[in-house]
Chains A and B, each alone.
Chain A
Amino acid sequence: MIKGKRPFFVILLILFISLSLGYHSNVYAYYAPSYNYSYWRDSVAAPEAYEATQIIDGKSLGVGSLKEPSDIYVLNNESVYILDSGNNRIIVTDTDFNLIRIIDSFDNNGRIDHFSNPQGIFVTESHHIYVADTDNKRVVHLDDKLKAVTIIDSPESELLPQNFEFKPAKIVVDKAGRIYVMAIGVFDGFMEFSPDGVFTTFIGANRVKVDPIEYLWKLLSTREQRSQMVQFVPTEFTNLDIDEDGFIYAVSADNTDEDVKRLNAQGIDILRRDGYVPPRGDIRYTSEEGPSRLIDIDVTDSEIYSVLDAKRGRIFTYNGDGYLLYIFGRLGNRLGEFDTPVAIERIGDNFLVLDKTLGEITVFEPTEYGRVVNEAIRSYYQGDEERAAEMFAKAVNLNANFEYAYGGIGKAYLRKGDYEKAVEYFKESMDRKNYSKAYILYRRETLREYFPLLMTILCILILCTPLIRKYIWRHIKELSLFRREELRYPLRLTVHPYDEYWELKYRRDKRVNLIISFVILALLCITRILQVQYNGFLVNYNNPRDFNSILEIVYVVLPVLFWCIANWSLTTLMDGEGKFSEIFISTCFALTPLILIGIPWVLLSNYISAEEVTFYNFFQSFAALWCLYLLFVGNMTVHQFTPSKTVGTMALTVGTIGFLAFLCLLFFNLIQQLLSFAVTVVREILLRF
């Protein structure tokens, strides 16, 4: 044993050094034009899906400069309606931006009427124009000859308060002529009006978002204090759009995962959010800048929708399942960059982005990549899987980082029966559900292929069992390694804890026990590392790029150490008989099941499907329970406690661990402050001399 000590430590040292090496990651030498989010929520490089091609402003339209335009509407990919709010007019152009007409007044029952700072516009197939005439506090419905059909100015209903002020901002109309209005200062959702302008109901209110800390304060404060606090009200929507099936797409700047909603007729949100990241714009942002502020949404065919982030001037496009397809646009002073973007619309697959301050529209056209992705999504939506797979394959060739597309290819392989390829692609797209589906088939196929061989081996084994028993097993059993007490003892302990813990405390050599304990702890560390690195895809949720072996070791060793210290400090107060070394040994021995069950499952988990993950989880829980049971017996024996006292001690130990952790955190915080102070001082000294 003493002889073996030195090499062991040398190996440990080498291992440790090698673990701590190599944490350099490299650098971009070149900046990608765009990005997307990976499954791991990292930003990864992507090609530009859209390229800005031209800027349209009042000058190029020949109508004088636009003043704070706030909305655009594209009708049937034929004409563009620009709501020039500051000039109280609507500019109508064709899709090549040739001026058709300017609407600055309308016929209101024989009287010429004007708009006042209108904020929203919607045009129906029959060229009826709906304008949210905000400062006039009304919604104007004009027919194709610019005669007012209805004017909604003061909606009445018992749902509305007495002094209700109607300030419509955005507006959509469904095929049946029902009008949905987003009004300023209304927190109950969109206002729905019947085609003849009668207020019917509110639809789709946002849920109240409660800040837990504020809520706590509220509970603790008196009624008077409470009345002075901010009320919890649902947030307002920022914009809305309607798709061809009459579903309303709504956005709010609420900073939740439900910022985008797809509302059905009952006002229930039915948006699917299956993507790698929730459809809410950026999910990585600095704390100073904060999350995206979504202020417009545009929905096109095939459930593809895009949202506009006003904060960073980015446009995010998602498919119906909620996968982020591409991102383009930014703030700045170059073509394709904005100052204050307020609205987006599409003409076919081209995007229009309206800039309020600059009074201009930037036109974006899809690049090869953008076209391929759009077509892939459309083909898939329409059920043309072959075409979709072809397009997805193209998308992957144009952007190897586009994980979603790998899934699309996988599906095609799955359908074609090439399960091995399908498995590979689903893994690349981190699609566990489909991976499992493909894997079951692949496994069945493989098993079928090797079935005769496997059966033959099995039969031979069965037939030869007596022989094996007699000749081979005996030899194995008699191998000196397996006969060693150091190996057999912990194994025996796991099944006969009462007897063996007794032995451990009173009979056995403590030095040997300690060594075994350390070995068990080391093995557990290795198990943990193996699990993180080699566990099967279906049960492994660790980002391989963040993998850090030292951290994993810390995750194992630290809890054990905490447990032992907490337990020891408690039991010394509670007349426990255990010494620290005994507590440590008994704890380490109790960990054996985690290794015994963990290691085989590292291997097995690579060959399971989603349904069999239950087994995996069962065995993991089983190991944990077993470990807990051993801990209990160990604790009881070591301290010579009654069972109830043991349970109590263990519960208290957990509490103490929490306390210890808190102390440590405090300590480290202080150290850190001290360090940063020292660093500042040193820097200042260096600076001055």
Chain B
Amino acid sequence: MKLSKRLFLCTLCLLIFVTGCSTSTTTGDDLQDMQLEGEPTLTAAFTNPLLQDMKGIAENDYLQLYINDKTAEIAVLDKRNGYIWRSNPADRDGDPIASGEKKDLLSAQVNLEFCNEFGQFNYANSYTDSISYGQVAYTLIPDGVKVIYKFGTVEKTIEDLPKMISKERFEEKILSKIDNNTLLRALRIAYREDKENGVYVRNDGLAGLQLKRALEAFEIAGYTEEDLAYDLAEHNLAQTKPAPRLFFVTLEYKLEGDSLVVRVPVDEIRYLKEYPVHQISILNFFGAGGPNEEGALFVPDGSGALIYFNNGKSKYPPYRQEIYGMDLTVDNTEFLVKAEKARMPIFGIIKKNSALLGIIEEGASVAAVNADVSGRDNSYNYVYPSFYVIHKDDVVLQGEGQKRSFPRYQEEPMKTDFVVRYVFLDDKDASYEEMAKYYQQYLIKNGMLKENRTEASNDDIPFYLHLVGSIPTLKHFVGVPYRALEPLTTFEQAKTILSELQQAGVNNIKLKYSGWFNGGEHHKVPKSISVDGAIGGLKGLNDFLEYIKGKNISFYPDVALLRVYNTSGFNETREAARRLTALPAAVYPIDLALNRRDRDRSPSYVLSPRYVGKYVEKMLSGIARLDFDGISLRDLADELNSDYRKNNQIDRTESEKISIQALDEIYKSGLNIMVKGGNAYAWRYATDITDLSLGNSKYKIEDEAIPFYQMVIRGFIEYTGTPYNLSTYTNYRHYVLKCLEYGSNVHFVWSYEPSHKVKDTDFDYLYSIYYKEWIDLATEIYQQVNEALKRVNGQKIISHQKIEDGVFKTVYENGIYVIVNYNRTPVTVEGVRIEAEDFYVGGDAK
């Protein structure tokens, strides 16, 4: 049996080898023959003595754009304050830390990460692989310039030397024609005589200088391609030359008002099939802060965070976060990282008298923001975006104790250009507050932010209450298992909770109700909507809706649309998104002790974006007969996934469009939309955001958390953080203070049944949701927060400052400000004494 198995394996391998060879064709020649389109130099339209090597090429009322046509570096002069922003640090040659490749990187504008023939990641940057060969061309475009880089050269490699050459031929054709001793020595190293067979055999370990010399010798000797072919044929050798690593990348710089727009057209990223471009990062060091400069990098971690220049934290890993979190069809990390997500596609640099705000306009969903401080690779502090072009995954084959992995690539590059808008802010605006304000105005102008909130400005602030309807559990009767819904809060019981809450003085309630249809918390796909009988059924729901009428309670039934938790009525093979490995994207639950995905338990599936529209439509028609005026979306604004189904791939940028389309559809149906998480693209549609980050992920490299997100959306969308009773705070006062500092509302998740109902179920993460235990504290917290925030209801945050460690001042649009003190000791700020863990509300409402 063993033998037959081996035989079978061998034949199969052969088969695979043969077919594999026939299908892979090189397109190397096309790329090798491609010429750089454009001029090698530019003529200056104007010059500036401060920028001696640079040529001015575009100008408007705010800015001037300069370029150095030798190094392709650019500079932008802000006419308002004369500050010059450079794409590469001016004094980079004197950097004491950077060396080798890292030093070259300082001079590059583009850095590529590509996969080699073995599926390993390699890097190429525009300085080492393009500029140093002089392979760059320029074309002027209105208000800017287009820079085209060609990466890599067609160098000869060891495979241009024959593996074997007969004695006579070698002596006659090569040795006799060389009279240079160095080259002769190199040839002696390169070829060893095999006297027995009368041939010279190549030394395969040849590399570096010796290889270069051997190649030179062959060239001088006039050894041609035909000769090579002859030698190979003579000795029956097959020798294939690896394709050259060639890439073309285009960068378009364009001035638009007070900003510089940089575009990387994706169809002008040219690469060989053998070397797919995985990631591209641009202008890594644009505006980088020097070792003696003061300032901070702004990164979009959670609500936003600052990394101070030269904070000496290079012992920690650098900052990197993908915008909108991980793509679950790409995510292969076994480890769970409990970090906040980056939900805004922005980054920035704040210097003493000027600031730069980067807005990723196109390709945000495949972008990541990277930042690092001085001291690791170089002495600069820098932040830059990078974009995935082609995703890669590995298929691991295991058998007979052997393991092999094959790389699998996305079929086509992302279907979007990568566009980053760099906004330059002058002296008075050089702060994150102004950055937030600018971003807000920008969003409004582009129709990406809208005042959706439903509160009247003199109302009490909303109290966000999430009630869990029912959870599916597995029960047994005489050994026969059956799925049953364990009701945690029926509609009838919800009324009790609401009335108790209102009696306690909480009037404005926004109720998110999850686990109410199609089988509880982990409901079936919303093909049709059937209200769960376990919590009261349709009649219960209607009674409930009747009950809340006129009571200042808004109702948001919760629906999951992107993830499928209950596979009945769902076709995993057809409707689940696929990974690059061709497997359905199953998301396994985490085993907390192992901190890994537990593959013994059943997973949830990522719904292919292809079907999202259909399900949204069905869901909307399903709830049309129910008298809802709001809806809560569990995942539509929280996660974003691709589908790598063969020959029918949907990349993340397309998926983003689908999500936006879905939101639009729901919005048009007239429902108020409460979303969880709140990715930037949902701002246009959301009235409420829950589970918003109140702070950053606390990466050690970061120095400060700032309420940037809140500064952008406050006054447009109502928001709240994660439910207090399942969050980590050293005490409840800190939660109150956090709410005041971030202008956030209060949020709780409750059930009517005691929490021990979730013990020993898959919902044990709801370990503390019994409403009776929390209602008193919740009321107290609400009163405290309401008292302060009622006065600034619907007001924007116009300023946020750290006064000292643990003391923050938030100023609202109408002039009222809140100072919070997280410390264990009282502080005196602006002549006001603030007790330990207390706050002060000051200012007069305009």
Q: Is the CB of A26 within 8 A of B312?
A: no
Among the interface residues A18, A397, A688, which one has the most CB atoms of the partner chain B within 10 A?
Answer: A397
Q: How many whole Å from B696's CB to the nearest CB in chain A?
A: 9
Cα separation A32 to B431 with both chains bound (whole Å):
36
Interface string of B603-625 (1 = CB under 8 A from A): 11000000000000000000000
Contact partner of A284 (CB less than 8 A), chosen from B338, B594, B760, is B594
**Contact: A26 with B478, CB < 8 Å?**
no
Structural contact, A37 and B767, CB atoms closer than 8 A: no
Name the distance in Å between A382's Cβ and chain B's nearest Cβ.
Answer: 24
Are the C-beta atoms of B336 and A31 separated by less than 8 Å?
yes
Interface residues of B in 742-799 (CB under 8 A from A): 754-760, 762-765, 767-768, 770, 773
Q: Of B726, B732, B760, B768, which one neighbours A545 at CB under 8 angstroms?
A: B760
A526 close to chain B: CB less than 8 A = yes
Q: How large is the interface on B (under 10, 10 to 19, 20 to 34, 35 or more residues)?
A: 35 or more
Q: Mark B659-703, 1 if CB is under 8 A from A, else 0.
A: 000000000000000000000000000000000000001111100
Known: A285-B593, A681-B12. A26 touches B20 (CB 8 A): no
* Residues in A neighbouring B729, C-beta threshold 8 A: 51, 367-368
- Which residues of chain A in 639-689 are interfacial with respect to chain B, using CB atoms and an 8 Å cutoff? 673, 676-677, 680-681, 683-689
**Is the pair B768, A24 in contact by a Cβ cutoff of 8 Å?**
no
Which residue in A46, A51, A396, A533 is a CB contact (below 8 Å) of B730? Answer: A51
Complex contact B479–A533 (CB within 8 A): yes
Interface residues of A in 544-565 (CB under 8 A from B): 544-545, 547, 549, 552
Contact B406 A687 (CB under 8 A): yes
Residues of A contacting B: mostly: mixed
Once the chains bind, are A27 and B601 in contact (CB under 8 Å)? yes
Query: A8 an interface residue at 8 Å Cβ cutoff?
Result: no
Q: Is B626 an interface residue (CB 8 A)?
A: no
State the CA gap A400–B468 with chains docked (Å). Answer: 16
Taking CB atoms, residues of chain B closer than 8 Å to A26 are 472, 522, 565-566, 589, 602, 762-763
The tally of residues in A whose CB lies under 8 Å from a CB in B reads: 78
Contact for B756 among A31, A400, A552, CB less than 8 A:
A400
In the complex with contacts A29-B565, A45-B765, A332-B337, A400-B593 CB distance below 8 A: no
B595 at the interface (CB under 8 A from A): yes
Q: Is A28 an interface residue (CB 8 A)?
A: yes
Question: Whole-angstrom distance from the CB of B560 to the nearest CB of chain A?
Answer: 8
CB distance from B721 to the nearest CB of A (A): 14
Which listed residue, B315, B588, B700, B759, touches A428 by the CB 8 Å rule?
Answer: B759
In the assembled complex, A1 has its CB within 8 A of some CB on chain B: no
Q: Assess whether A365 is interfacial by the CB under 8 Å rule.
A: yes
Provide the residues of chain A in CB contact with B728, threshold 8 Å: 33, 47-48, 51, 367
Closest to B723 in A: A30
Given A28-B765, A47-B728, A21 contacting B700 (CB threshold 8 A):
no
Interface check A541, CB cutoff 8 A: no
Stretch at the interface among B110-118, B161-169, B369-377, B392-400: B392-400
How far in angstroms is the closest Cβ of chain B from A419?
Answer: 19
Nearest Cβ distance between residue B312 and chain A, in whole angstroms?
7
Partner-binding segment picked from A130-138, A214-222, A333-341: A333-341
Contact of B760 (CB < 8 Å), options: A37, A38, A337, A683: A38
Contact B767 A27 (CB under 8 A): no
Residues of B within 8 Å of A32, CB to CB, are: 592, 764-765, 767
With A and B bound together, what is the CA distance between A285 and B595 in angstroms?
Answer: 9
A549-B479 in contact (CB<8A): yes
Bound: A231/B806 CA distance, A: 57
A59 at the interface (CB under 8 A from B): yes
Binary interface profile of A, 11-33, with partner B (CB < 8 Å = 1, else 0)?
00001001101111111111111
Residue of B336, B521, B603, B767 near A45 (CB, 8 A) is B767
Q: Which of B472, B521, B582, B588 contacts A687 (CB 8 A)?
A: B582
B19 at interface, CB cutoff 8 A: yes
Q: How far is the CA of A53 from the CA of B837 in the complex (A)?
A: 14
**Contact between A31 and B765 (Cβ–Cβ < 8 Å)?**
yes
Q: Is the CB of B316 within 8 A of A530?
A: no
Rounded to whole Å, the gap between the CB of B2 and the closest CB of chain A is: 11
**Number of A-B residue pairs having CB atoms within 8 Å of each other in the complex:** 208
Q: Note all chain A residues with C-beta closer than 8 A to B592.
A: 31-32, 34-35, 43-45
Give the complex CA separation of A399 and B479 in angstroms.
30
Tell whether B445 is near chain A: CB-to-CB under 8 Å. no
Instruction: Assess A358 versus B770: contact at CB under 8 Å? Given A26-B565, A29-B521, A530-B479.
Output: no
Residues of B within 8 A of A398 (CB): 767-768
> Are A399 and B767 within 8 A (Cβ)?
yes
Q: Which residue of the partner chain B has the closest CB to A18?
A: B480
Interface status of B474 (Cβ within 8 A of chain A): yes
Are B730 and A400 within 8 A (Cβ)? no
Contact of B593 among A22, A35, A401, A683 (CB under 8 A): A35
Do A27 and B758 touch (CB < 8 A)? no
A163 within 8 A of B: no
- Indicate if B141 sits at the interface (CB-CB under 8 A): no
Which of the residues B16, B589, B700 comes within 8 Å of A688, measured between beta carbons? B16
Contact of A400 among B316, B522, B768 (CB under 8 A): B768
Whether B397 lies near A684 (C-beta < 8 A) is yes
Residues of B close to A526: CB separation below 8 A: 478-479
Residue of B nearest to A399 (CB): B767
List of B residues within 8 angstroms of A337 by Cβ: 700
What is the CB-to-nearest-CB distance from A189 to chain B, in angstroms, rounded to a whole number?
32
Contacts A31-B765, A544-B760 given; indicate if A334 touches B339 (C-beta within 8 A): yes
Given contacts A25-B602, A27-B602, A366-B730, whether A676 and B767 have CB atoms under 8 Å apart is no
Is B590 an interface residue, CB under 8 A from the partner?
yes
- Taking the nearest CB of chain A, how far is it from the CB of B397, in angstroms? 5
Q: Does B353 contact A (CB under 8 A)?
A: no
Does A500 have its Cβ within 8 Å of any Cβ on chain B?
Answer: no
Chain B 380-398: CB-based contact to A (< 8 A → 1; otherwise 0): 0000000000000001011
Contact B399 A680 (CB under 8 A): yes
A677 to B398, CA, bound (A): 8
Q: Is the CB of A333 within 8 A of B16?
A: no
Q: Does B446 contact A (CB under 8 A)?
A: no
Q: Which residue of A lies closest to B758 (CB)?
A: A400
- Name which residue of chain A comes closest to B587, CB basis: A27
Contact indicator A43/B593 (Cβ below 8 Å): yes
A55–B757 alpha-carbon span in the complex (Å)? 39
Taking a contact as CB atoms closer than 8 A, the residue among B16, B474, B594, B698 that contacts A684 in the complex is B16
Residue of A nearest to B596 (CB): A286
List the B residue with the shortest CB-CB distance to A52.
B698
Residue B292 lies at the interface, judged by CB distance under 8 Å to chain A? no
Contact with A along B220-256 (1 / 0, CB 8 A): 0000000000000000000000000000000000000
A633 adjacent to chain B (CB < 8 Å)? no
- CB-nearest residue of chain B to A41: B593
Take A33-B338, A59-B312, A687-B395 as given contacts and tell me if A27 and B476 are in contact as well, using a CB distance cutoff of 8 Å: no
- Asked if A529 lies at the interface with its beta carbon under 8 angstroms from chain B, I say yes
How long is the Cα–Cα vector from A400 to B760 in the complex, in angstroms? 10
Q: Are B476 and A24 in contact (CB under 8 A)?
A: no
Give me 26 A-to-B residue pairs in the complex whose CB atoms sit less than 8 angstroms apart, sorted by A's number.
A21-B481, A26-B589, A26-B762, A28-B765, A32-B765, A33-B728, A37-B593, A45-B592, A45-B765, A285-B594, A286-B594, A312-B595, A333-B316, A333-B701, A334-B700, A368-B732, A400-B755, A400-B756, A530-B479, A533-B478, A549-B476, A676-B399, A680-B398, A681-B9, A684-B12, A688-B19
Closest 10 CB pairs of A and B: A35-B592, A529-B479, A400-B755, A43-B593, A335-B698, A549-B479, A26-B762, A284-B593, A48-B728, A22-B481
Which B residues form the contact surface with A (CB < 8 A)?
A: 5, 9, 12, 16, 19-20, 312, 315-317, 336-339, 395, 397-400, 406, 408, 472, 474, 476, 478-483, 521-522, 565-567, 582, 587-596, 601-604, 634, 697-701, 726, 728-732, 754-760, 762-765, 767-768, 770, 773
19 new A-B contacts, CB < 8 A, other than A285-B593, A398-B767, are A21-B481, A26-B762, A27-B587, A28-B762, A32-B765, A35-B592, A38-B760, A44-B764, A45-B765, A48-B728, A52-B698, A333-B699, A333-B700, A337-B700, A358-B316, A400-B755, A401-B758, A677-B399, A680-B398
